[in-house]
Structures are given as C-alpha cells and as structure tokens.
Amino acid sequence: MSDTLAPFTTMVDLFDGRLDPERETAQRTLADLEGYFQGSSLSRSEVVYRVYGIPVPETNSEVACSTTVLEAGDIEGEYYMTKGHFHVERDRAEIYVGLSGEGRLVMATEDGRHAVEPMRRGTVNYIPGGWAHRSVNVGAEPLVFFAAYIGDAGHDYATIERRGFPVLVTRGVEGPRVIDNPSYGV
C-alpha cells in the first residue's frame, strides 16, 4: 500500500480548459511544429496549443488526464492542429471529451487506415489502441477538450513526423475539407 496514491481533486473550467491547481503545462509554438504543415509560416513564436496536465505515475494502473487548448488559425489553408502521436505502447486507448470550439479528430493506423470524427462541446471520442490521433481546430474560437489515457501509453511523435497522416483538414469555401495528404508516407 505504501506507493498507493492519495485521492485528489482538480477543478477544470469546462469552457477554457484551465485546471486548478495548474500542475504541469506544455505549450507548442509554430516553431515547435516546423515541418508538420504543408506550407510554412513567417511567425514562429505564436503559441498554437497548450496542454494542461494532471500528472500521475506513468504506469498501466493509472489514468493520465489533460486538457488541450488549440488556437484557431491556419497555414495556407491547413487548420491549426496538434502534432499527433501513436502511443509508444501501441494498444493503449484514449478518450477525448469536447469542451468548446469546433474540431476534427483525425486518426490513423500504421497500415494506413484513417478516420475523422467531429469534436465539439459534448462529444466523447473513443480512440482505440493502435490509432494515432491528432486534433484539428476548424472553427473561429479555441478548440478545448479533455483527454484521459492509460498512464504508461507514452507519446511516439517520430512515426508521425516521418510519415504524416493519410489526410489533411483544410479550409474550403463551404467549410472544412478532408483531403488526401500528398506527402503521406514519403
């Protein structure tokens, strides 16, 4: 029992995603996302998203949680998005709960299948093991969501950095469009 965690409670603002207490915050700028978009941006210091984490030991007995606040914007029509990752432990699943804004959850398997699901306040997206996941803000306001995943999942960014996702989400005249990624797997 000695290494059993004590119970604890965190408040989450269900509109802006801020946690209280705020324990561990990561932010990603356009510079951090270099190479992820098809186009390029002159601005490098702009923050694209922040992740507010509720850290727990990274074991398969714990559930790690975070909220993500993804800003609105695009680079040459490709909407702002997270890096996206597979789990290092490939079979670990994850759940996203939409809090505000409008997004798309782009998912892909290593053998090239893909899925795109809606994200908005009230959506509960289930990301099965084996599916890489990236969230994309297709609206005019920040996209805010809560995520929960098995503690030892780990983030494998390298596979996505190398191959990308099979599809991109871009701004079309009649709204967001999902198009094939011309650079996929290259």
Query: Where does this chain bind Zn ion (CB under 5 A)?
Result: 94
**How near is the Cβ of 1 to ligand M6P at its closest, in Å?**
29
Nearest to 88, CA basis, from 110, 72, 71: 110
Interface of this chain with ligand M6P, residues 21 to 80, rule: CB under 6 A: 51, 66, 68
Of the residues 19, 48, 78, 85, which one makes contact with ligand M6P according to CB under 6 A: 85
Asked if residues 41 and 79 have their Cβ atoms less than 8 Å apart, the reply is no
CB neighbours of 91 closer than 8 A, spacing ≥ 6?
Answer: 129, 130
Of residues 66 and 137, the one with the C-beta less far from ligand M6P: 66
| Burial of 184 per CB tally in 10 Å (0-12, 13-18, 19+) | middle
Interface of this chain with ligand M6P, residues 99 to 118, rule: CB under 6 A: none
Of residues 66 and 74, the one with the C-beta less far from ligand M6P: 66
**Residue 18 binds which of ligand M6P, Zn ion, none (CB < 5-8 A, kind-dependent):** none
Asked if residues 24 and 113 have their Cβ atoms less than 8 Å apart, the reply is no
Of residues 15 and 172, the one with the C-beta less far from ligand M6P: 15
| Burial of 84 per CB tally in 10 Å (0-12, 13-18, 19+) | buried
Task: Provide the mask over 147-176, with x wherever binding to ligand M6P is found by CB under 6 A and - wherever it is not.
Answer: x-------x---------------------
Interface of this chain with ligand M6P, residues 5 to 24, rule: CB under 6 A: none
Which range of residues in 1-9, 17-25, 83-91, 177-185 is near ligand M6P by CB under 6 A? 83-91
Residue 125 as a binder of ligand M6P (CB under 6 A): the answer is: no
d(CA 4, CA 12): 24
CB neighbours of 115 closer than 8 A, spacing ≥ 6?
Answer: 106, 107, 108, 131
**Residue 44 binds which of ligand M6P, Zn ion, none (CB < 5-8 A, kind-dependent):** none
CA distances from 41 to 35, 56, 88, 111, 173 (A): 10, 36, 30, 31, 22
Applying CB under 6 A, the residues found at the interface with ligand M6P are 51, 66, 68, 82-85, 94, 147, 155
